[in-house]
């Protein structure tokens, strides 16, 4: 479809500059991208129900005859009402359109139609507003439903697509080599494009879908593999494994078996001539930091530097504290660089770094900025990787001569998916929690129990614990949702003798740091916050977390939040407060109460959400897919993985497959990947 991406969408009849702007909002600017704007679902208009069986709250198709077209009525506010009376042979119903004469004009008295829409009204007076309709008895009856933007209807998009298909279908060249199509029984691109948009039958739509998903996943995997090729260089830092005894002796606890195994895997990688690319995956609280610290120790014993990048200042600060406490007694110099490191202090720090006087630099995105120069960067660690994109990961790597890379993530994803999302990183799994941890007890309650939850908090504080209270909003915005500022006042009133802190993302970094430090040092008993504490924050004495409007958070976020407690041998609790009545919300909260296993929750989320965004591009930095879903279509991934390897083995740069290569470039251009072309 190469050329069609340079054909402006305004080339199509009926698409003027105004329409073009609306299409732009959908990410559609060319005929090529229009053809890749796939329907979300289809309506089968022949799947009709009797009016008496039509639900009041969801759309369906009902057949009926137009009895009488009422005169056009002008309403207040300049609106116009077009009303048509129909009968379903046993019961009458009304069809209404506002402001648009076109559909009204199409309906003819005495003719039969199939109407599709939400049949509301009352039991005796059913009414459907702005339905789709076709004359009854027509053969072509499957209508595509497109994801919409305001101002464009599904029907309109469908019409533009039909025009584009008419004009360009013959020109479509197939990016998939014919042997791949034959071997995996995939239809031609022309058939696929036509039948995804205007299916001849449900079966044809299925065939089209399967082929397009296959192609998209193949393109994704090819892209990841090509990116990986670029980084498969030789490192300047083959490290000699150090004696770890001083390191382990200095720890205030025994390493778990899983920690020892993962450290072993990392030290083995560090000796190799190729740079390490390893994902360290471990549920919240499994103790990833100390594993990374062992790597840093190894680098320092070899006289080389390390960098650790965290997604927030709070986390960077915390890592700095932890690692400094751990490593400084072993003669390792640790420094912190964030957006708030400024002036003379920053200058001195950068000079020391360039001179090799700093062994470990901890920081935020600031580490990637231009003026940060290492003298011998051997190991790069990124924490909570899902917050960084593929691109940022690469940028830090370019600060050294192909340093070793360790990526830490608490997002529990099935291995097959991890392989895609993280290219072909090697994976170490921390599947064992430090000894003595107790199961976090989790309860879901309604807002009526808020005072009791606060009383329970008081009890925990009296026994030496600390408490988080999480709200979805920062301050009162007049919505139903709880906000942190109000909650702080409320709780302070209920517990006047306790010290209640407030933390949110709009505070200045220095203020955030100060509040976090105060909480950590137990100068605060209770911390009311937004989800800024979601990732990684470690305060061992915190043993109760109360989440308000818990229905507002996805399972993975709730799991992360709950991971803020249960970080010592103190019994910990999680109270999820919600008045939500929705089925999905209830199921989610229920799952949280039943299990604390991140993998089990991830799997459950997957079932619950279907084609969802658990691994949405915001989290993993992968390009946004147009038709495939990494979770739902994960069976296809195995096939495309095989094809990907076969193609690249024979043709490492895809020079003989320029169409595929162009698709790769297009998919990855959205994440700002350079150098693929
Ligand atoms: P995460 O994997 O969520 O990043 P951390 O590295 O923050 O976990 O560790 C969680 C807590 O567990 C920290 O307070 C840390 O000191 C402690 N910890 C780590 N390893 C062990 C261990 N083997 N035994 C006891 N406590 C440990
Ligand atoms: Mg962590």
Which ligand has its closest atom nearest to the C-alpha of 598? 1
| CA distance linking residue 346 with residue 627, whole number of Å | 47
Is residue 255 within 6 Å of ligand 1 at its C-beta? yes
Is residue 652 within 6 Å of ligand 1 at its C-beta? no
Which residues are within 8 A (CB) of 339 and not within 5 positions of it... i.e. 6 or more apart?
Answer: 313, 364, 365, 366, 509
Phi and psi, residue 554, nearest 5°? -70, 165
| CA distance linking residue 479 with residue 391, whole number of Å | 37
Given this model, what pLDDT does residue 417 score? 66
Count CB-CB contacts under 10 A for residue 335: 19
Given this model, what pLDDT does residue 285 score? 81
Task: Report the nearest-CA residue for atom 24 of ligand 1.
Answer: 434
Question: Candidates 434, 542, 560: which one to mutate for ligand 1, based on the most atoms within 8 Å of Cβ?
Answer: 434
Given this model, what pLDDT does residue 621 score? 56
Is residue 287 within 6 Å of ligand 1 at its C-beta? yes
pLDDT digit string, tens, across residues 84-117:
999 988 889 999 998 888 889 889 999 999 998 9
Is residue 315 within 6 Å of ligand 1 at its C-beta? no
Question: Could you tell me the distance, in angstroms and rounded to a whole number, from the CA of residue 284 to the centre of ligand 2?
Answer: 7
CA separation, residue 580 to residues 52, 231, 603 (Å): 30, 48, 23
Q: Parallel, antiparallel, or unpaired for β 80-87 and 73-74?
A: antiparallel
Closest CA to 447 of 493, 480, 496: 480
Task: Report the nearest-CA residue for atom 26 of ligand 1.
Answer: 434
Task: Report the nearest-CA residue for atom 18 of ligand 1.
Answer: 287
Is residue 256 within 6 Å of ligand 1 at its C-beta? yes
Is residue 259 within 6 Å of ligand 1 at its C-beta? yes
As given in the structure block, the two tokens for residue 148 are 């919409």
277 pairs with which residues across the strands? 405
Q: Which atom of ligand 1 is nearest to the CA of 255?
A: 23
Residue with tokens 């941890």: 437
E-strand spans in 106-206? 112-117, 119-121, 126-129, 132-135, 142-145
Count CB-CB contacts under 10 A for residue 268: 11
Question: Could you tell me the distance, in angstroms and rounded to a whole number, from the CA of residue 536 to the centre of ligand 2?
Answer: 4
Which ligand has its closest atom nearest to the C-alpha of 564? 1
CATH T-level fold of 232-430: Rossmann fold (3.40.50)
Q: Which atom of ligand 1 is nearest to the CA of 284?
A: 3
Q: Parallel, antiparallel, or unpaired for β 305-309 and 277-282?
A: unpaired
Task: Report the nearest-CA residue for atom 5 of ligand 1.
Answer: 287
440 and 572 in contact (C-beta within 8 Å)? yes
pTM, entire model: 0.65
Question: Could you tell me the distance, in angstroms and rounded to a whole number, from the CA of residue 345 to the centre of ligand 2?
Answer: 27
For residues 14-43, one letter each, b for 16 or more C-beta atoms within 10 angstroms of the residue's C-beta and e for the rest, the string is: ebeeebeebbeebebebbbbbbbbbbeeeb
Given this model, what pLDDT does residue 533 score? 75
282 pairs with which residues across the strands? 430
Residue with tokens 């203020």: 511
Is residue 282 within 6 Å of ligand 1 at its C-beta? yes
Given this model, what pLDDT does residue 416 score? 61
Q: Which atom of ligand 1 is nearest to the CA of 285?
A: 3
Same fold, 46-139 and 441-595: no
Residue with tokens 């300047």: 236
Is residue 285 within 6 Å of ligand 1 at its C-beta? yes
Which residues are within 8 A (CB) of 177 and not within 5 positions of it... i.e. 6 or more apart?
Answer: 647, 657, 660
Which ligand has its closest atom nearest to the C-alpha of 536? 2
Task: Report the nearest-CA residue for atom 19 of ligand 1.
Answer: 287
Is residue 538 within 6 Å of ligand 1 at its C-beta? yes
CATH number of 46-139: 2.40.50.140
Is residue 257 within 6 Å of ligand 1 at its C-beta? no
pLDDT digit string, tens, across residues 157-211:
988 999 999 989 888 899 999 999 999 999 999 999 999 999 888 889 999 999 9
Quote the distance between the C-alpha of residue 220 and its chain's center: 16
Q: Which atom of ligand 1 is nearest to the CA of 567?
A: 11
Question: Candidates 261, 288, 289: which one to mutate for ligand 1, based on the most atoms within 8 Å of Cβ?
Answer: 289
Which ligand has its closest atom nearest to the C-alpha of 280? 1
CATH T-level fold of 441-595: Rossmann fold (3.40.50)
9 DSSP assignment: G
Longest dimension (CA), the chain: 92
Delimit the domains of the chain by residue range: 4-35, 46-139, 232-430, 441-595
Which residues are within 8 A (CB) of 390 and not within 5 positions of it... i.e. 6 or more apart?
Answer: 227, 423, 621, 622, 671, 673
Residue with tokens 């007049």: 478
SS3 state at 6: helix
136-139's contacts with Cβ under 8 Å and 24+ in sequence apart are 136/63, 136/112, 137/112
Which ligand has its closest atom nearest to the C-alpha of 287? 1
Task: Report the nearest-CA residue for atom 27 of ligand 1.
Answer: 434
SS3 state at 126: strand
- Cα distance from N-terminal residue to C-terminal residue, the chain: 17
Task: Report the nearest-CA residue for atom 23 of ligand 1.
Answer: 255
Given this model, what pLDDT does residue 23 score? 92
Question: Candidates 256, 287, 565: which one to mutate for ligand 1, based on the most atoms within 8 Å of Cβ?
Answer: 287
Given this model, what pLDDT does residue 111 score? 94
2 and 29 in contact (C-beta within 8 Å)? no
| CA distance linking residue 445 with residue 394, whole number of Å | 44
Q: Which atom of ligand 1 is nearest to the CA of 289?
A: 6
Which residues are within 8 A (CB) of 250 and not within 5 positions of it... i.e. 6 or more apart?
Answer: 326, 329, 330
What's the burial of 675, exposed, middle or buried (CB within 10 Å: 0-12/13-18/19+)? exposed
| CA distance linking residue 20 with residue 472, whole number of Å | 37
* Residues lower than pLDDT 70 in the chain: 1-2, 140-141, 230-233, 384-400, 412-424, 534-536, 606-607, 609-622, 670-677
Quote the distance between the C-alpha of residue 79 and its chain's center: 41
């Amino acid at each position: 479809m190469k050329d069609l991406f340079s054909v402006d969408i305004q080339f199509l009849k009926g698409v003027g500059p105004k329409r073009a702007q609306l299409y732009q909002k959908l990410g559609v600017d060319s005929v090529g991208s229009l053809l890749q704007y796939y329907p979300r679902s289809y309506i089968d208009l022949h799947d009709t129900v009797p009016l008496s069986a039509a639900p009041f709250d969801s759309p369906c198709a009902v057949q009926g005859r137009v009895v009488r077209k009422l005169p056009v009525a002008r309403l207040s506010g300049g609106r116009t009402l077009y009303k048509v009376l129909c009968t379903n042979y046993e019961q009458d119903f009304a069809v209404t359109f506002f402001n648009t004469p076109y559909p009204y004009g199409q309906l003819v008295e005495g003719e039969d139609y199939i109407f599709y829409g939400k049949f509301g009204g009352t039991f005796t007076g059913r009414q459907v507003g702005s339905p789709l309709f076709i004359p009854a008895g027509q053969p072509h009856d499957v209508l595509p439903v497109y994801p919409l933007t305001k101002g464009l209807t599904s029907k309109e998009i469908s019409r533009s697509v039909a025009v584009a298909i008419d004009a360009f279908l013959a020109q479509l060249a197939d990016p998939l080599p014919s042997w791949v199509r034959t071997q995996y029984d995939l239809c031609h691109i022309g058939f696929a494009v036509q039948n995804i948009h205007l299916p001849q039958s449900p079966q044809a739509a299925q065939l089209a879908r399967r082929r397009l998903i296959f192609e998209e996943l193949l393109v994704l995997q090819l892209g990841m593999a090509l990116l990986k090729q670029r980084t498969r260089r030789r490192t300047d830092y083959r490290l000699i494994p150090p004696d770890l005894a001083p390191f382990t002796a200095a720890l205030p606890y025994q390493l778990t078996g899983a920690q020892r195994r993962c450290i072993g895997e990392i030290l083995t990688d560090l000796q190799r001539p190729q740079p390490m690319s390893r994902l360290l995956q471990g549920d919240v609280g499994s103790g990833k930091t100390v594993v990374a610290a062992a790597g840093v120790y190894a680098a320092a014993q070899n006289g080389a530097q390390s960098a650790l990048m965290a997604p927030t200042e709070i986390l960077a600060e915390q890592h700095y504290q932890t690692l400094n406490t751990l490593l400084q007694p072993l003669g390792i110099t640790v420094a912190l660089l964030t957006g708030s490191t400024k002036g003379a202090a920053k200058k001195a720090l950068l000079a020391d770094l360039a001179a090799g006087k700093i062994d470990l630099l901890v920081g935020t995105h600031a580490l990637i900025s231009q003026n940060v120069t290492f003298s011998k960067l051997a190991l790069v660690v990124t924490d909570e990787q899902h917050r960084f994109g593929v691109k940022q990961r690469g940028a830090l790597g370019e600060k050294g001569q192909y340093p070793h890379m360790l990526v830490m993530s608490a997002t529990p994803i099935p291995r097959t998916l991890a392989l895609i999302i993280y290219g072909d990183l090697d994976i170490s799994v921390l599947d064992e929690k430090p000894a003595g941890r107790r199961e976090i007890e989790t309860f879901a309650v309604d807002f009526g129990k808020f005072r009791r939850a606060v009383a329970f908090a008081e009890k925990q504080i009296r026994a030496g614990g600390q408490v988080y209270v999480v709200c979805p909003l920062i301050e009162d915005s007049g919505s139903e949702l709880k906000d942190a500022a109000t909650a702080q006042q409320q709780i302070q009133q209920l517990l006047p003798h306790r010290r209640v802190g407030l933390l949110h993302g709009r505070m200045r970094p220095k203020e955030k740091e100060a509040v976090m430090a105060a909480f950590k040092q137990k100068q605060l008993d209770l911390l009311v916050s937004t989800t800024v504490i979601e990732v990684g924050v470690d305060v061992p004495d915190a043993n109760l977390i109360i989440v308000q409007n818990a229905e507002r958070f996805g399972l993975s976020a709730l799991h992360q939040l709950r991971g803020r407690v249960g970080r010592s041998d103190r019994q910990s609790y999680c109270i999820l407060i919600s008045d939500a009545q929705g089925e999905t919300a209830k199921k989610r909260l229920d799952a949280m109460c039943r299990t604390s296993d991140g993998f089990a929750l991830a799997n459950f989320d997957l079932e619950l959400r279907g084609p969802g965004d658990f691994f949405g591009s915001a989290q993993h930095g992968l390009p946004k897919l147009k038709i495939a879903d990494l979770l739902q279509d994960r069976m296809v991934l195995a096939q495309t993985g095989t094809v990907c390897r076969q193609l690249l083995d024979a043709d490492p740069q895809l020079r003989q497959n320029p169409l595929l290569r162009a698709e790769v470039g297009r998919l990855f251009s959205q994440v700002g990947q350079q150098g693929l072309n």
